[in-house]
Chain A
Amino acid sequence: MNFTKESGKPRYFVIELIKMIEIKDLHKSYVMGENSLHVLKGIDFTVKEGELVAIMGSSGSGKSTLLNILGMLDEADKGSYYLDGKPIKNLSEKIAARYRNKFLGFVFQSFNLITYKSALENVAMPLYYQGMKRNERNKKAMRYLEKVGLADWATHLPNELSGGQNQRVAIARALASEPKVLLADEPTGALDSTTSYEVMRIIQSINDEGKTILIVTHEDDIAHMCKRIVNLRDGVIIKDSKINQVRTKSATHV
């Protein structure tokens, strides 16, 4: 039985919320020649469906390393990782690709859009790898572009868009495959504060629809727009607490 407070009214849930991410004793070292850098030194934490978690920590504390492992872009050396109840361990490349495609959406600080493809084509990429037909995937990609307020920019190339717009394209791309979890590594790191808030507003609204989201950030104000903050230092979690979410003002779409 879980109890949450929403809009000041107490409500009772009768179902156990699904554990979307569950990691135990996660370790990761980077080996460079003779030296080995122990970055993650035994991380345990659980994220339930619908959570909006900020992972904080100073630069070099291992935030990105953790998120990359959660996003299956990298592998842990030790420990267990369950994604939506499925063990992520020794997967074949094929299965790993399918999980990345179906379960995970990743947003990078540097956007990582394909430079020669338009906004729409970038958003449609994950759907291509799902084997969706061109018309269908373009329609769906368009819906997600509308969602991030960029329908009018669908045919533009990344270099014709601003940083904030590019990040919104990247978010639309991450969402297009309807993943279970959205992971964002400093999504506002390359943006000024106004555009940062715009991006956070979109993230909050997606979370309102029930999507589980993890954000890496080192900015306090961004972290406080989430519902839970996990603090990392020297490769371990030093603090993990629920907070009162700061809502972004619902700005008008650009």
Chain B
Amino acid sequence: MFNIERWQEIFDTIRKNKLRTFLTGLSVASGIFILVVLLGFGQGMTNGVAKEFEQDATNRIAVWTGVTTVEYKGLNPGRFIELKNEDYDLLIKKYEDDIEFKSSVFRIWNGIATYKNESGNYRVEGVYPDYQFIENASLSAGRFLNYDDHNGNEKVIVIGHKVYRDLFGKKEAIGEQVQISGINFKVVGVFTDPGGEREESKVFLPLSTSQRVFAGGNTIRNLGFTLKPQRTFQQAVRQSIIFTNEIQSFLQERHIVAPEDESAIDTWNSLEEAKRYYDLMDMIKLFFWVVGICTIVAGVVGVSNIMLIIVKERTKEIGIRKAIGAQPWSIIGMILHESIFVTAIAGFLGLIFSMALLEVVGPNVEIDYIVNPSVNFNVALTTVIVLIVAGALAGFFPAWRAARIKPIDALRDE
């Protein structure tokens, strides 16, 4: 390998067989390129799914109501089921030991928020202080709602970051008065949410205030809970499924709803969904690995093919070299040396180029479910090495054969 004469001979050969070198290099480089980009997007998809999922607390359980669709105990379908504060109070008492965070939600329809000349239509909800954790929101300014706000029916709101940007631009928002459907509220906090803009287009106010000011009486739209952590993910999933089913039955019984009537009292269990997500993520990962491995296999086959063709093409040359006294090993060495050199350079070029692309484009990708595609450098490096070794192996056997046969047989090759 450190024989300078050999290097010169290789460079001469490469310089004088530019097309062959270019085509070999191109196929290796593009193989690596495709693989890296592919794995990058696989990772991007995994990231995207993970992000989608961060928008709420991972173990959130939600309950909401609708219209009955089945006749039950002599009651006609088409009844609207309305949850009451009582339902909430009974539930949190019953499951005191299991519940970590809890809130009921009163939704104000057509919540138009106005500040000076700016206004916008947002999702406005009356909630309990715990709701911050159920939403997985964090404060970027001020504070979230607290129990004093609740007990005092304070006219205060916490706004999402999107709302803040729309109404205030870059100005200070804390302490300012914002009108919600014409009624003044004082902004006490601004929150961000990993779920992004959609989750940050919300306005929260104390539940009690919302019911009183917007004529809600004691009705609530939905319920949100998280459960205390369990030791394992499996246990957590099992417990949350049991809990979800129990509260559903409890409410169905109280409101006289058929057990199978999903549209009257519906539930959402993040953890159960989480499990699905995790399974999906595993599937995505598996899929990209399978595709990746297929790509590598295709690359290996491609490189091997090229090497076979190159050796075939050079059989006569090998015969000539043998006739003038080339040692068999010098012929094998020459072919392998060239092959390894070309695949290595091309492989690394493909690697650098694709990594650069991911590096530049990756952070700017803003498609749902694809976030920051990136690739594990070691995986990419391993691939390059696999291709180099494959090229070398694929070149070795025909080269070895060509170097062994009688010079006259090699010369006869056309």
Contact = CB atoms under 8 A, between A and B. Distances in A.
Interface of A: 68, 71-75, 93-94, 97-98, 100-102, 106, 108, 112-114, 116-117, 121, 125-126, 128-131, 133-134, 173, 177
B67 interface: no
Interface in B322-346: 322-328, 330
Nearest to A137: B5
Contact of A129 (B330, B404, B407, B408): B330
B411 A102 contact: no
Contact of B323 (A100, A128, A133): A100
Interface residues of B, number: 26
A121 B17 CA distance: 15
A102 B325 contact: yes
Nearest to B317: A114
Nearest to B8: A134
A94 B17 contact: no
Contacts of B13: 116
B323 A73 contact: yes
A108 B319 CA distance: 12
B406 A73 contact: yes
A138 B389 CA distance: 35
B320 A112 contact: yes
Contact of A98 (B17, B317, B325, B407): B325
A127 to B, nearest CB: 9
Nearest to A110: B411
Given A73-B411, A74-B406, A129 B16 contact: no
Nearest to A108: B411
A101 B12 contact: no
B260 interface: no
A126 B316 CA distance: 16
Nearest to B324: A126
Given A112-B411, A116-B17, A128-B5, A177 B325 contact: yes
Contacts of B71: none
Interface string B1-38: 00001001100110011000000000000000000000
B327 A97 contact: yes
Contacts of B317: 114
A49 to B, nearest CB: 21
Chain A to chain B: the 6 pairs with minimum beta-carbon distance, closest first:
A101-B325, A116-B16, A73-B408, A73-B407, A126-B324, A100-B325
A100 B325 CA distance: 5
Contacts of B16: 116-117
Interface in B361-414: 403-404, 406-408, 411
A133 B406 CA distance: 28
A180 to B, nearest CB: 13
B285 interface: no
Classify the interface of chain B: helix, strand, loop or mixed. helix
Contacts of B186: none
B51 interface: no
Contact of A125 (B321, B328, B403, B411): B321
A185 to B, nearest CB: 11
Given A106-B324, A129-B325, 13 more contacts: A72-B407, A94-B328, A98-B327, A100-B322, A112-B320, A114-B321, A116-B13, A117-B16, A121-B12, A129-B321, A129-B324, A130-B325, A131-B5
A139 B413 CA distance: 32
B324 A177 contact: yes
A126 B320 CA distance: 10
A82 B408 CA distance: 20
A129 B326 contact: yes
Interface in B195-232: none
A101 B5 contact: no
Contacts of A125: 321, 324
21 contacts: A68-B408, A71-B323, A72-B407, A73-B323, A73-B411, A75-B406, A93-B327, A100-B322, A100-B325, A100-B407, A112-B319, A114-B317, A116-B16, A117-B12, A126-B325, A128-B5, A129-B325, A129-B326, A129-B327, A129-B330, A133-B5
A103 to B, nearest CB: 9
B406 A173 contact: no
Nearest to B409: A74
Contacts of B325: 97-98, 100-102, 126, 129-130, 177
A98 B316 CA distance: 20
Interface string B117-143: 000000000000000000000000000
A174 B324 CA distance: 8
Contact of B326 (A68, A97, A121, A133): A97
Contacts of A128: 5, 9
A73 B412 CA distance: 11
Nearest to B327: A97
A17 to B, nearest CB: 26
A128 B9 CA distance: 9
A128 B16 CA distance: 18
A98 B16 CA distance: 27
Contacts of A93: 327-328, 403-404
A201 B119 CA distance: 104
Contacts of A121: 12
B267 to A, nearest CB: 75
Nearest to A102: B325
A97 B99 CA distance: 86
Contacts of A108: 411
A106 B323 CA distance: 7
A102 B16 CA distance: 28
A112 B324 CA distance: 11
Contacts of B9: 128
A134 B325 CA distance: 17
Contacts of A113: 320
Nearest to B4: A134
Nearest to B404: A93
A71 B323 CA distance: 8
